[in-house]
Structure 1
């Protein structure tokens, strides 16, 4: 496969054809409608979540982080803060229990008490509906990687960047936090690309609801 340099980030991305789902008007309509519905729910839960975060630990309400989307394009992902404010600075003190280009720890001490609840219920991800509405993400897609993860990719891993990242996907429905091998996450992402259809997106969205309600595989 031919590699090309992605400017201005100097990341290498695989020059493959953009996935057909990116051009689907039906998928984009579902994203917009879903994002508007999600933001409506967020507005209802906003003040209780903000109050809980503020009473628990000092710091900002939201957490933003640079992620890589379609073809490596960088964007700022938005979440409710679930960690202490200096989480990135002390990350090196926490053991990485995952295998590959991701970071996971089942008992990460940087997660706050309220943050643990937000993560188990996936409420910390509600602000990402803004990312979906803006078009940087989709409701269903691949896991959005960080820039430092992408810098370590091989050509096999770059294929996951040929589609928009999603709030949910096969990794969320069939593995979630229980999947601790990065190559397995990539295989799920590529399997989603092969199987994609609007109907499959709707199926994954329905299954995501059951996974979130059941709090399966979250930490």
Structure 2
């Protein structure tokens, strides 16, 4: 709450970001064409997810027994909480071991190129982005979009500076500017915020489609993935 009050009373550093009224949702949020693309993509994605879920569940039990899905609370449009779903790519007690892993990123993100908590199956899931497929359900529900910003965790948002809130004017996405143009190779949070703001300036339904196709290309070449 204190962070939100700071946002309403402060302006972001002029040399870093252009101030945008956080109270006003981005025009993409109410675009019917974008929503139709989301629904169509989500239905296809859910069908694929259902097909691969059973063989993945079997493989996981041989690799690291435990649940097939992993869920976590994330912040969506205007900071609203929702539960995100993924195929589990880490050991069952990964959260309890997080403090043992070095954070190689800067700012309000956590990245480690050789995170020991990631299972063998998990590395394959992450390199191919298959671990993200259950989020098609979040897209269908309207909590996410196919294209948007990376959905942050509540503890990340609690530490935001006022100008960081601007990235939450759009729905979080399965992919976005960051995933299509850098992926895990971008390790500075402020760089991610700049890319998120750049997406808001460039946005159109056609640009969304361009980012989707570019993401597919990036995933197939495994560029910037770990």
Please indicate the TM-score interval, normalised by the length of the shorter structure.
Answer: over 0.9
Distance 1:189 1:68 in 2: 15
Aligned residue in 2 for 1:90: 97
Write the deviation string for residues 42-66 of structure 1: whole angstroms up to 9, x where unpaired: 1221211111112111211100011
Check the 8 A contact 1:16/1:159 in 2, yes or no: no
Pair 1:182-2:189 in alignment: yes
SS state at 2:95 partner: coil
Q: Give the C-alpha shift of residue 38 in structure 1.
A: 0.7
Contact 1:140 1:201 in 2 (8 A): yes
Q: Label 1:27 to 1:108 Cα distance change in 2 as closer, same or farther (>3 A).
A: same
User: Which residue in the other structure is 1:107 paired with?
Assistant: 114
Q: Which residue pairs with 1:193 in the alignment?
A: 200
1:4-153 counterparts in 2 under 5 A?
4=5, 15-153=22-160
Determine helix, strand or coil for the equivalent of 1:89.
helix
**Alignment size in residue pairs:** 211
Flag the 1:204–1:15 CA change in 2: closer, same or farther, 3 A: closer
Stretch deviating more after TM superposition (130-139 or 48-57): 48-57
Q: Which residue of 2 aligns with 1:213?
A: 220
Q: Which residue of 1 aligns with 2:172?
A: 165
TM-score normalised by the chain length of structure 1: 0.93
Structure 1 residue 15, shift from structure 2 partner: 3.8
Contact 1:4 1:15 in 2 (8 A): no
TM-score (norm 2): 0.90
**Structure 1 stretches of 4+ moved >4 Å:** 2-5
Say what the alpha-carbon RMSD is for the aligned residues.
1.5
Larger helix proportion of the pair: 2
Unaligned residue ranges in structure 2 (runs of 5+): 7-20
Q: Is the 8 A contact 2:22 2:165 kept in 1?
A: no
